Amino acid sequence: MDLGSNLRARARVCLQQQEDEEMLVPHRELTEGPQPMEAETVSASENQQVEDPPTLKYRWTIENFSRLNTKKLYSDIFHVVGYKWRVLIFPKGNNVDHLSLYLDVADSATLPYGWSRYAQFSLAVVNQIHGKYTIRKDTQHQFNGRESDWGFTSFMSLSELYDPSRGYLVNDTCVIEAEVTVRKVVDYWSYDSKKETGYVGLKNQGATCYMNSLLQTLYHIPYFRKAVYHMPTTENDMPSGSIPLALQSLFYKLQYSDNSVATKELTKSFGWDTYDSFMQHDVQELNRVLCEKLEDKMKGTVVEGTIQHLFEGHHMNYIECINVDYKSTRKESFYDLQLDVKGCRDVYASFDKYVEVERLEGDNKYQAENHGLQDAKKGVLFIDFPPVLQLQLKRFEYDFMRDTMVKINDRYEFPLQLDLDKDNGKYLSPDADRRVRNLYTLHSVLVHSGGVHGGHYYAFIRPTLSHLWFKFDDEKVTKEDAKKALEEQYGGEEELPQTNPGLNNTTFKFTKYSNAYMLVYIRESDKEKIMCDVDEKDIAEHLRIRLKKEQEEKEHKKKEKAEAHLYTIIKVARNEDLMEQIGKEIFFDLVDHDKVRAFRIQKQLPFNHFKEEVFKEFGIPVQFQRFWLWAKRQNHTYRPNRPLTPQEETQSVGQLREVSNKTHNAELKLFLEVEIGPDLHFLPPPSKTKEEILLFFKLYDPEKEDLKFVGRLFVKSLGKPTEVFSKLIEMAEFPPNEEIDLYEEIKFEPTVMCEHIDKRISFKSSQLEDGDIICYQKSLTSTNRNQFRYPDVPSFLEYVRNRQVVFFRALEKPKEEDFSLELSKLFTYDDVVERVARQLGVDDPSKIRLSSHNCYSQQPKPQPIKYRGVDHLVDMLVHYNQTSDILYYEILDIPLPELQGLKTLKVAFHHAIKEEVVIHIIRLPKNSTVADVINDLKTKVELSRPDAEVRLLEVFYHKIYKIFPPGEKIENINDQYWTLRAEEIPEEEKSLGLHDRLIHVYHFTRDSNQNQMQVQNFGEPFFLVIKEGETLTDIKIRIQKKLQVPDDEFSKWKFAFISLGRPEYLQDSDIVSNRFQRRDIYGAWEQYLGLEHSDTAPKKAYTTNQNRHTFEKPVKIYN
């Protein structure tokens, strides 16, 4: 979700937009370049609900959708509590290849200045064939004059929307739904969760609401919290490196803090980086991984076994033969139970399904030891349930037909009290201890709001198991009634109220997209033990001291901030600071003011009194102190400008700060000049006339490549540099007659300027003044200059200004650092690849291909750097307004310039006789044609006959969309989303008769639980020649022979003529050609002969699906 304006976008880390992510933004026309941040849809608003808000559901039917010529289109206006709203769409996308969809304040132009209103809303594109595939996304926004519309720039791909078989466009009609909830609000800042509820929330790091809801649930199990407190940690541990300490710290703050608590220390202890915190994961997976980690960390401690004691139960898997006396059992443990939602009305129905007996008979008989194949029954029964029962509701499931995840929003009820001993303990095994009463009370309900593409998590919890429920929604905690925690989280559908009840209106039902996802029950008999008291005595003393100290420091900083207007910060730089910093921490200018001694002084204090503070700190008597004001010059350097006058030293600190600092930033920067005599005693500051200037000197050693501060001198402005040579040589400890060269360090931003000083003219003629810096070195001859990398001061400073250590990683291992090189930002493309090739031992640098680093996603950019596509190293490292120090490399088999001149295509060749498909990578010049691809392919594949002709097809979602003409250029062929298939052209297709038809034939099946008209294609599509008058019987014979399907299986197949996704089943005597009136085969995927049968091919495992959504990535805790 985007935060809206540029101001907000800068406030949070940006994620690189992935192709399947939505962008949630005002609808302003998009241009290329950096786009606002995308993350999850976060429901913690800057406002607080004070009463049940009014909600309206609006349905917009758009006819002739594909023929819309307008770039954007508004719906009619609809009203919610007097506010006017409308939906805004971009039918062809707002400069993206996705449908763009927004909610708009219809009368924003006429509203008074400063108006604002807050709304939670969802937008949906209805699937008119298959309701469960409706795409719905929800969010919220504070609408105002600057952001009067808000929504999703990339709502759904245009290819999916405009594909008539997908169900979003039926009869060229698109249906949009909007559900808008307008909340009466109070100011966010006036709401105090601790004051209102006694509890505090957790801050969202970007997409960590799923983690926050789980942590709140675990925290509010007091026995678990106490065990975490008793995990051994030491005062030397750091929370960011210790999961136990980070969790102890988090729980302590939740218990005793007055404000919402940050989770960054905890996620750092997991080993997560910023990008991990912006990846939405799965609550179930995080719960298991975290508990496994804690269980491991508790081993060998006083709390060993706590996780098992709280959450571990056991069930028995059994297989029992019916006709012989044989039974096989296996005991297994569980920490949570995954319960089916689909097809179950409530928790009890899910448990019934869990223990349902399966019959093993017929072809599926059980091989019993010593008894051979036997009829048997197979099932699961529970040996014992844990004190804390975690039920994971299977709201998400993988749809093999669509090769995607779907969310199950069906109504699913769960009771406040759960009796697992019901019906004489039908869920229990014979070995179960019947003395234990398995009666549970509901402790918490974790909710997922949204769809499979993203959403938001929050939790309803009863912290004391009383009648009081609380909603923990990131930073917000609110009191809620039981109905909201239970009934409203059942899911299912609700009807849209009729606007005119007297008329015979069609009733529309809307799916509720917020529903329970995880339930936590506590056993009644263990309630007192689990819901125990947890107080300070349970917390280790070092932890209490550490956290109290943190709290005190926080309060101290808060107090300082509140009193900041009464104080001035005086930063005092001395010779010692320059000696310490120059050549080590800094090279340009004189000092880093953030690393010098800072004094916090009341503004009203006279400056002369401040000098007493300096005496106490440094031991320098007041009479030997002289302070200089710093000044920022036009070239962005910062130098001592002039000493304070005696009159100024009588002024207050506050007055002096205003004199020195026009930006009013509460800081006064000073340089303390102190003179020390040969006997190391302090001397009074020398008198300074207008003819004298204070210069600072740095010494450069080209052999050691070392620059250091050696001192300062007062010189006469009309004097010449040669007059102070003896002093400079003495400061450098050079031989008396050493020749030296002088350079003035002028500036270093945006480029280095360091110019040679003419020894023969005066300092004034060289335009030197107070605070200027002179760098000097031994004079070099033209001969010995070549001995050094950076022979003089300008070249060294240029090197320092542009040096960059770059960390290189192999592209195939993007998380593993391989090697590092010190390079110059001014290195050309050729310089960089030459150094990388040398490091890798590659003879030809042009075989090195580099990719830049995305600072936000912490991943390689998808597009590699083109050969000489950037001028310098610095161009490779910049990503929008950030600079990285990471590059990725590949070693190619051919030079990059040659590769860039080629088009690479992945072609799947289907053998005419053998049942095999072989993927071939074809590389050809970009101006090649499809005929060139086919000719190249023929040299790599085994053909059924030497003179066989080959064609290239475009296949998508198991349909043939195109036969490529041989003359088509390959440069624009996209094999990233579409499958390129090559195959031999059958002889029968080469000589079509006048009345013959070439038709598409596709495999399909239907979901028995859904609309009977919806078909799902699968398998490999193909062409078939049908002749005029040919019956289905004749065609079936040819299809069976072509596909080599056994008789018993083929007899179960059904055949249908399918047009626009609707099947018309055929009889054996039907003349098939009568149904196919179109002679062209281009675009003919709309009409095809469908072969209905079950899909027996191996299904793609979900874990191999490359289109996983961000929240489906596996959770990893690294430490």
Q: State the residue for tokens 């799916």.
A: 511
| Euclidean distance between CA atoms 318 and 428, whole angstroms | 13
Question: What is the identity of the amino acid at 19?
Answer: E
Taking alpha carbons only, the member of 449, 40, 372, 388 closest to residue 217 is 388
Taking alpha carbons only, the member of 122, 57, 54 closest to residue 499 is 57
| Euclidean distance between CA atoms 652 and 622, whole angstroms | 17
Specify whether 209 is catalytic: yes
Which of the residues 14, 174, 209, 855 is marked catalytic? 209
Three-state secondary structure readout of 41-107 = CCCCCCEEECCCCCEEEEEEEECCHHHCCCCCEECCCEEECCEEEEEEEECCCCCCCEEEEEEEECC
Which of the residues 281, 315, 456, 1109 is marked catalytic? 456
| Euclidean distance between CA atoms 272 and 274, whole angstroms | 7
CA torsion, points 1079, 1084, 1090, 1094, in degrees to nearest 10? 150
Backbone angles phi, psi at 835, to 5 degrees: -65, -40
Three-state secondary structure readout of 835-883 = HHHHHHCCCCHHHEEEECEECCCCEECCCCCCCCCCCEHHHHHEECCEE
| Euclidean distance between CA atoms 757 and 1117, whole angstroms | 59
| Euclidean distance between CA atoms 508 and 498, whole angstroms | 9
Backbone angles phi, psi at 328, to 5 degrees: -115, 130
DSSP class of residue 235 equals T
Specify whether 14 is catalytic: no
Question: Are the C-beta atoms of residues 472 and 213 closer than 8 Å to each other?
Answer: yes
Tokens coding 192: 């105090």
Q: State the residue for tokens 């009771």.
A: 415
Question: Are the C-beta atoms of residues 962 and 968 closer than 8 Å to each other?
Answer: no
Question: Are the C-beta atoms of residues 142 and 123 closer than 8 Å to each other?
Answer: no
Question: Are the C-beta atoms of residues 1002 and 958 closer than 8 Å to each other?
Answer: yes
Residue 255: C-alpha distances to residues 246, 263, 547, 554 (Å) = 14, 14, 12, 17
Question: Are the C-beta atoms of residues 748 and 730 closer than 8 Å to each other?
Answer: no
Residue 127: C-alpha distances to residues 130, 397, 449 (Å) = 6, 19, 20
Angle, to 10 degrees, between the axis of helix 541-562 and the axis of helix 243-256? 60
Q: If you write DSSP's letter for every residue of 576-618 in order, what string do you get?
A: HHHHHHBTTTB-SSS--GGGSEEEEEETTSBHHHHHHHHHHHH
Q: If you write DSSP's letter for every residue of 739-800 in order, what string do you get?
A: -EEEEEEEE-SSS-EEEEPPTTS-TTTTT--TT-EEEEEE---TTGGGG-SS-SHHHHHHHH
The secondary structure element, H or E, covering residue 1003 is: strand 997-1005
The b/e string for 721-742 (b: 16+ C-beta within 10 A; e otherwise) is beebbeebbebbebeeeeebbb
- Integer-rounded Cα Rg, in Å, for the chain is 38
Question: Are the C-beta atoms of residues 332 and 384 closer than 8 Å to each other?
Answer: no
Catalytic residues, which ones? 209, 456
